[in-house]
Amino acid sequence: MRIGILGAGGMADALGTQWHRAGHEVMISGRDAEKTAALAARMTGAAKVQEREVLAGTFAEAAAFGDVVMAAVLEAGLTDVLAAAGTALRGKPLIDVTNVHPDAYDPTRPIAGAAADLTGAHVVKAFNLCHVDVWRMTPPVFDGRPLAVPLCGDDPAALELVRRLVADLGCTPLDGGGLARATLLEATAAFVIGLWFAGADAQAILTPKEHAGA
């Protein structure tokens, strides 16, 4: 699979390196061409795949390159980056991993829904519940249980591609419902990240499945 990544930060590095290692072709993109190229070279070395390299390009080039595209930029710059990516995103699977600061999230302004409206892409909300370092783990397994990754989206083909990418990380994809429910996933991230910021163990708020009722 060809994966275009809009962004050249931690999420692009962590997820892009894992997917490159898993056999996919990856292009990252950023505003600073020199820094983006340097990150692509580091990702190539970290993945230890000698026969091909992680590529670096512009936002428009990465959008055109990918069979699936991931938006991995700060929420404040997301609109500008999606505009720079251009019309290549229309009708294409677009993974949205974006969060905002817990105190700033507004459920009346869903991020994933706005991305879909701006681009005409088949947006899938995913990978937004974990710190970037979790995505560097090979694989992310806790107490013998692979990490589960909820997905929210409307397009079956886009969801299937993202499920494959989740599985390539050694994680378990979970059906979280349609794109309208991505607002709940974004709000969940804002809530639990706020707990983590406060020093709480956010995972402790949920009981094991056998204690979840009939």
The CATH number assigned to the domain holding 26 equals 3.40.50.720
Structural domain count of the chain = 1
Domain of 90, in residue numbers: 2-211
What is the average pLDDT value for the chain, to the nearest integer?
96
Residue type, 169: L
| Each residue's pLDDT tens digit, 66-112 | 999 999 999 999 999 999 999 999 999 999 999 999 999 999 999 99
Instruction: Give the C-alpha separation, 146 to 139, whole Å.
Output: 8
Residue by residue, DSSP assigns 110-151 as -HHHHHHHHH--EEEE-S-SS-GGGGGSSS-EETTEEPEEEE
Residue 214 scores a pLDDT above 80:
no
Q: How confident is the model at residue 50 (pLDDT cuts 50, 70, 90)?
A: confident
| Each residue's pLDDT tens digit, 173-213 | 999 999 999 999 999 999 999 999 999 999 999 998 898 88
